[in-house]
Structure 1
Amino acid sequence: MSWSELPTTALLTAAPLLLGLGALLSYRQPQPVAAWRLARATTLSGLLISAALLVLGLLSGPGLTGGWWQSGPLHLIMLLLANFIGFVVVRYSTHYLQGEPRQQRFAALVQAVFAAVSIAVLSDHLLVFLAAWLGISMAMHQLLMFYPDRPRAALAAHKKFLFARAAELCALTAFALLYLHHGTGQISTIVAAYTADSAALTVSEQFAACLLAMAALIKCAQLPLHGWLIQVVESPTPVSATLHGGVINLGGYLLLLFSPLLLQSVPAQALILLVAGVSSVLAALVMMTRISVKVRLAWSTSAQMGLMLVEIALGLVELALLHLLAHSCYKAYAFLSSGEAVQQDLLRRQAPARSPSAVRWLGALAISALIVAGFGVVAQSGFESTAFDALSPWVLLTLALTVLLAERGSRVTTGSLLAFTALAVVLTSVYLALKSVLGVVFPGPAHVTPIWADLWMSTLFVALFLGYYLQRHCLHRPWVQTLNVYLYAGFYLDEWVTRTTLQIWPHKLPRRARPKQLHPISEEGLL
């Protein structure tokens, strides 16, 4: 490491180091107030340092070097995101956990999680990355068990513990294969080899790509290994915000990091498109059947993670990064504001869905298709990137705008067709602008989306639209009600996985502190 790299390396090291020291000192504080004060100071410092690093990196371009850390746009953006979510969660937890025991331990664990996340997104060595990933999982396990007497929380933590070890074993095997093939554990060197060379992959490289895809699918809670993500809502709300807003995105980050390898492996792409594509559609439809706001958000996370992995497999890495950033901020906010669910439910009840006529649906589809086609022509002619060549994202955008235009009008949201058309144009413009900006900041490898992948995902998006229509406007039909029952149960996939998991690796669950008891009905109660 040269002398010119020392300042940047010191700043990059300071972010995880401050959080790690803050975790140690917060745990040893005699009073919760002092622990939270220290946690707020360390997370704010990490946020300011990561923001300064991102600005410095964007201004200096490829000239910014960080010694043993990676300091590219992807890594600095992820570092800023992690520290921002950590700062918000700590600020919220300071008041949320007032009066709870073991607050110092909670503050220490939250800082430890984001310290490990910072190391993972900056590390330039396979073993350091894997060790940080393991540290994140272990700290999250303790947070999920913050209320150890809750059976559902213990079951979720047990399943997550086992699935996380399986994901780490896949990653370890993939890293070993890559190390043996390239003769180095430096991530930047390995990724650069696939960026510069498009030669056919060997069998070991194909196997490594598939193992990385498996690790990401497991980490992102894709069906059928999704149940733990739904059940961890038993943990405190800040833990859910930490998990859904930050930690679960690391599966997507893993694939973004190794996207040059992944996009040269057809089997790995097919695996992700099959599993994550089906998971995103089913999880989105199951979410619509749930009433509990936190459970709905958990199903939404599984669906969003599946869609993000699909975007990476299609070669749309800049869109996947945009998706990751937007989902992290939105989902952290949604969990931390979940206490407003009653008010939101009242507003929803005041705005009953009106079933649009066939003419309205066809008109909305025609207008949406024209808007998207117009922007598609602009994107194709104005940008040289292949990121706009894939068809399926435009299909999804068209269907989303169709729903927006067709279902306009209720007690809460009213407006003319012209106003909603203008809104659709604005949303499409914002989508195109943000995707273009991230395409410049984080240009992905040159990749042409295979026609079979485009057709597969377009078919799934149409199926999602049809499922949405059935649930919203055809629930009075008996066969749709039967389908809705299976959707509400998640097709019983988690029950099967839970039963199988406990048979392979039994775990004694705690008993309820105050179990419900059935009392015989007295004669007076019958009168």
Structure 2
Amino acid sequence: MDALLTINALKLVLLALVALLAVVIWRYSATALAGEQDKLRFMRALALTLTATVFTLLSNHLLLFWLGWCWISLSLQQLLLFYPQRPRAQLAAHKKALSARAGEILLALAFMLLYLEFGTADISSITSQATIQTSLGLYAHIATVLLVLVALIKCAQLPLHGWLIQIVEAPTPVSALLHAGIINLGGILLLIFSPLLKLSTAAATLLLVCALISTVLAALIMTTRISIKVRLAWSTIAQMGLMLVEIALGLYTLALLHLLAHSCYKAYAFLHSGNAVNHYLAAQLAEQTEPHVRHWLLALLAAAGMVLLAHQLMPLSSLSSGVLLALAITVLLMPSLARADSRRPLRVMLAVTYGIGLLALYCSGKFLLQNIAPTTAVLSTLADLFTSLVFAGLFIMAVLLRYHSRQRAVNQVFIWLNAGGYLDEWATRVTLKIWPYQNKAAAKPSNLSQAESLK
């Protein structure tokens, strides 16, 4: 008899992440909700959500995995509606519920097709069979496409992203749990079933195109936002899209490293969001220096050299990953070059040291994880090149929006991005037509609810 619950190296790493997030968020919640009358209800829903996540990760049976997936959504819904008197929180939870039900139906259909294709409901048996195959049957191809759609929905990719932006109405620990943990389930699903994805070019291409579009738009829209929490929410959409792009290209080790790093960062960012306001104000008061073209070129050349050096130590899996690293290091180095004063050499030295440290950390993480989620052959050279060009275009557009937003053409783009491309409005209208929503009677706000409303 096949085991209903199993653990392997990938699941062990993910369970360690869940345990870390659980301890941090639980302690934060216990302190933040100390004066809340419904604290017990919140902690109970949080415990159920965490338990459901662990159960889902351990599940080795299609039915158990699906039940755990549904369990996570239902328990999370209780956290999202912790303050039911907030209309925006109700609307966001309503939209989240509809997308969750759609994802659960698609996941059930995918699992049924996998059972028909492989004749077993054991997940490890399905992935083992797919590993030794050179092609998939029709049912498996359709199931893989459905898994991609489920991942896109779970990761709140555009245009089904509005609920993630509006869910900042929930208490801060809920935002930390959602953005650092639950939102990653789409990527985890595809990592578990990666042997199927690498055999389905149609599914991988669909994932690549949809995730790239969502990454670019979300990253650009984020630059137009002022609210700290809203910026973090848009950042999550962009980062989830980038992780899905890595999975689509077959860069599973990089995607796992990205998932772990993003989870830890977002948990810290949301739980530390109050102090982030002070940091933002301090940055606004600091002297701003607009960089020139030569500064960008110098930073880009230095970053390219550092990435090439890292490539000698730990070969990069694709051109797009190298381009992404080079652009990230460029952004890191540029501020130290732009401001001309007596301290510039010291700033440049510190920035270069920091960049080398980040690259060393990246290479170390990739080395440690390469046997857990091994990288396969890239989807195709054309896909890799196309992704690299998109990353370069995103970088150029972000620079234009940051430093040249007064130009007429750029300003028109800025206005459109500031409205979120009007995508959420369209999605909300469609959602409410499918599943009408009525505002429930508001209860008397608690003291903590009123305090959070003033943030």
Q: If the TM-score is normalised by the length of the shorter chain, which range does it land in?
A: over 0.9
Matched, 1:452 2:378: no
What is the correspondence of 1:124-523 to structure 2 with a 5 Å cutoff? 124-197=60-133, 199-380=134-315, 388-408=316-336, 415-440=346-371, 442-444=372-374, 446-510=376-440
**Residue 317 of structure 1: how far off its partner (Å):** 0.8
Q: Is the 8 A contact 1:150 1:512 kept in 2?
A: yes
| Aligned mates of 2:20, 2:373 — CA distance in 1 | 24
Instruction: State the 1:425 CA deviation.
Output: 2.2
SS at match of 2:314: helix
Amino acid at match of 1:376: H
Give SS of 2:291's match. Answer: coil
Letter in 1 for 2:55: I
Q: RMSD in angstroms over aligned alpha carbons?
A: 2.0
Contact map agreement 2:251 2:376 (CA 8 A) in 1? no
CA distance in 2, matches of 1:102, 1:459: 51
* 1:158 positional shift: 0.5
Give distance in 2, aligned partners of 1:289 and 1:445. 35
Quote the offset at 1:184 in angstroms: 0.6
> TM-score, normalized by length of structure 1?
0.80
Write the mapping of 1:64-143 to structure 2, written as runs, cut at 5 A.
67-143=3-79
Once the two structures are TM-superposed, the CA of residue 449 in structure 1 deviates from its matched residue by: 3.4
Q: Name the aligned partner's letter for residue 190 of structure 1.
A: I
Deviates more, 1:209-218 or 1:328-337: 328-337
The 1:466–1:445 alpha-carbon spacing in structure 2 relative to 1, beyond 3 Å, is: closer
- 1:150: Cα distance to partner? 0.7
For 1:70 and 1:243, the matched residues in 2 are separated by 25
d(CA) in 2 for partners of 1:446 and 1:316? 7
Partners of 1:231 and 1:443 in 2: CA distance: 33
Uncovered stretches (5+) of structure 1, i.e. residues with no partner = 2-65, 381-387, 516-527
Other-structure match for 1:63: none
TM superposition shift of 1:221: 0.1
Q: Does the aligned pair in 1 maintain the 2:211–2:244 contact within 8 Å?
A: yes
Q: Residue 483 of structure 1: SS of its match in structure 2? A: helix
Aligned-residue offset at 1:447 = 2.4
CA distance in 2: counterparts of 1:168 and 1:149, whole angstroms: 28
**Conserved 8 A contact 1:151-1:511:** no
Shift of 1:513: 7.3
Using the alignment, how far apart are the partners of 1:200 and 1:145 within structure 2? 45
- The 1:514/1:103 distance shift into structure 2, 3 A limit, reads closer
Alignment partner of 2:395: what SS? helix
SS of residue paired to 2:199:
coil
Displacement of 1:154: 0.5
Offset, 1:511: 6.6
Q: Aligned in 2, Cα 1:352/1:259: closer, same or farther, shift over 3 Å? A: farther
Aligned equivalents of 2:201, 2:230: Cα separation in 1: 34
2:402, 2:109 → 1: CA distance?
45
**Deviations along 1:87-140, whole A, 9 cap, x unmatched?**
211111111112222211111100000100001011000000000010000011
Give the drift of 1:416.
3.5
CA distance in 1, matches of 2:277, 2:303: 33
Instruction: Name which of structure 1's ranges 350-359 and 252-261 shifts more when overlaid on structure 2.
Output: 350-359
- Counterparts of 1:373 and 1:261, CA distance in 2: 33
Amino acid at match of 1:447: A
| C-alpha separation in 1, matches of 2:10 and 2:277 | 38
Choose 302-311 or 442-451, whichever is displaced more: 442-451
Write out per-residue CA displacement over residues 290-314 of structure 1, whole angstroms, 9 at most, x where no aligned residue: 1111111111111111111111111
Q: Which residue of the partner structure matches residue 32 of structure 1?
A: none
SS at match of 1:99: coil
Quote the Cα distance in structure 2 between the aligned partners of 1:255 and 1:353: 43
The whole-number CA distance in structure 1 between the counterparts of 2:289 and 2:265 is: 27
For this pair of structures, how many residues does the alignment match?
441
- The one-character-per-residue Cα deviations of 1:390-415 (angstroms, maximum 9, x if unpaired) are 1101001111112222222669x964
Structure number, greater radius of gyration = 1
The 1:205–1:321 alpha-carbon spacing in structure 2 relative to 1, beyond 3 Å, is same
Query: Unaligned regions of 5+ residues in structure 2, if any?
Result: 446-455
TM-score (norm 2): 0.93
Check 1:285–1:179 CA distance in 2 against 1; reply closer, same or farther (3 A cut). Answer: same
2:20 alignment partner AA: F
| Closer, same or farther: CA 401–105 of 1 in aligned 2, 3 Å | same
- Residues 432-452 of structure 1 show CA distances to partners (whole Å, capped at 9, x for unaligned) of 121111113x04263233112
Which string of whole-angstrom CA distances, capped at 9 and with x for unpartnered residues, describes residues 16-43 of structure 1? xxxxxxxxxxxxxxxxxxxxxxxxxxxx
Cα displacement (A) at 1:352: 4.3
Distance apart, 1:189 and its partner CA: 0.3
Deviation at 1:369, TM superposition (A): 1.4
The match for 1:54 is none
Change (3 A) 1:494 1:246: same
Query: For residues 379 and 89 of structure 1, do their structure 2 counterparts lie closer, same or farther at Cα, with a shift above 3 Å needed?
Result: closer
SS at match of 2:173: helix
Q: CA deviation at 1:350?
A: 2.9
Distance 1:114-1:185 versus aligned 2 partners, 3 A rule:
same
